[in-house]
Amino acid sequence: MAQELARGALRKMRTELLQPVAYSMVLGEVLVPMNSLLGKSLSLEFLGQIHCIHCDRLSKKSFSQGYCYPCFRRLAQCDSCIVSPEKCHYDQGTCREPEWGLANCMIDHIVYLANTSGVKVGITRHSQVPTRWMDQGATQALPIFRVASRFQSGLVETLFKGYVADKTHWQAMLKGASEPVNLEAARQELMAACEAGISELQRAHGLQSITALSDQVETLIDYPVLAYPSKVSSFNFDKEPRVSGTLQGIKGQYLIFDTGVINLRKFGGYQVALTEH
């Protein structure tokens, strides 16, 4: 007999760094523990309405993972420099929301190496460690720099992008556990390859603003997965309002069903009902 577990506005899943990661689906004010639903038949049904995750305005379309178009155009957190931090223009006085930029971008950030679909370099606010790594589906992560602003973290990341990927290949990430890699060895190789560039950034911004980290403990992350798909096909609420199947795993912000996968973060603000069958 079908039992509706919750309904409401979808947000990205909450995570807790346990072994494996503990996931909770967020539907409105309700948190649904997901690990206990592994192996069960579930359905997610899009109820036809999208509400902006910032202003709650009813919207026909979602932009940048959950915003209405006016918020997408207005908010600093939707600006292109969030995706490309080396393009930060706060110091030019043109930030869309200077107070938001001061609180979120002009603070310490971590540059890290992670193993998602292979070794990649990434950045995150210091307060988002280790959440960012779990959201990306990383199985290993190692902080390598602490920097004083998002802009500076972008400059360091850009240096490293010449030698290592900066994006996760999500299909590969969902096909299985990544082969273990030696992140410390990768760090040392990258530091040697980028030594001149790092020194130049430190001269320009100060040693205290760009600090190399050489004594960090690697974080290992395990995910609740019963079985990985041999072929990854993704669901899209805009094309298929109902997703159903046996829940076989959770990794990153993806639910893995025996029928396909869905990235819940992509559908922030969608009104959704979760049902167990």
Q: Each residue of 156-196: pLDDT tens digit?
A: 999 999 999 999 999 999 999 889 999 999 999 999 999 99
> Quick one: 216 and 114 in the same domain?
yes
> Do 213 and 237 reside in the same domain of the chain?
no
Residue 177 pLDDT? 87
What backbone phi and psi angles, to 5 degrees, belong to 8? 155, -170
Q: List for the chain the helix, strand, coil content (%; round to 5).
A: 30, 35, 40
Does the structure show a pLDDT above 90 at 274?
A: yes
Rounded to an integer, what distance in angstroms lies between the CA atom of residue 159 and that of residue 195?
10
With a cut of 90, say whether residue 1 has pLDDT above it.
no
Average pLDDT, the chain: 96
* 261: containing domain: 3-67+223-276
Pair type for strands 119-125 and 210-212: unpaired
Domain co-membership, 55 together with 11:
yes
Above 90 in pLDDT, residue 140? Answer: yes
Nearest C-alpha neighbor of 144 from the set 210, 85, 221, 82: 210
**Where in the chain does DSSP place strands (E)?**
3-16, 22-27, 30-33, 41-51, 58-59, 109-115, 119-125, 140-147, 210-212, 219-220, 242-251, 254-257, 260-263, 270-276
In a shared domain, residues 114 and 201 = yes
Query: Do 171 and 227 share a domain, yes or no?
Result: no
What are the backbone dihedrals phi and psi of residue 248, each rounded to the nearest 5 degrees, phi first?
-105, -15
Q: Is residue 72 part of a domain?
A: no
% residues pLDDT > 70 (the chain): 100
Q: How high is the pLDDT of residue 226?
A: 98
pLDDT reported for residue 266: 97
Does residue 91 lie within any of the structural domains?
A: no
Please check whether residues 215 and 116 belong to one and the same domain. yes
In one letter, which amino acid is 113? L
Taking residues 186-214, report their average pLDDT: 96
Cα 216 to Cα 50: distance, rounded to the nearest angstrom = 42
| pTM, entire model | 0.95
Q: What is the pLDDT of residues 104-113, one digit of tens each?
A: 999 999 999 9
pLDDT one-digit tens code per residue, 33-88: 999 999 999 999 999 999 999 999 999 999 999 999 999 999 999 999 999 999 99
Provide the domain count of the chain: 2
Query: Which domain-ending residue is among 205, 220, 235?
Result: 220
Same domain, 48 and 126: no
| Sign of the alpha-carbon torsion through 89, 90, 94, 99 | positive
Q: Is the pLDDT of residue 155 over 90?
A: yes
Domain shared by 18 and 48, yes or no: yes
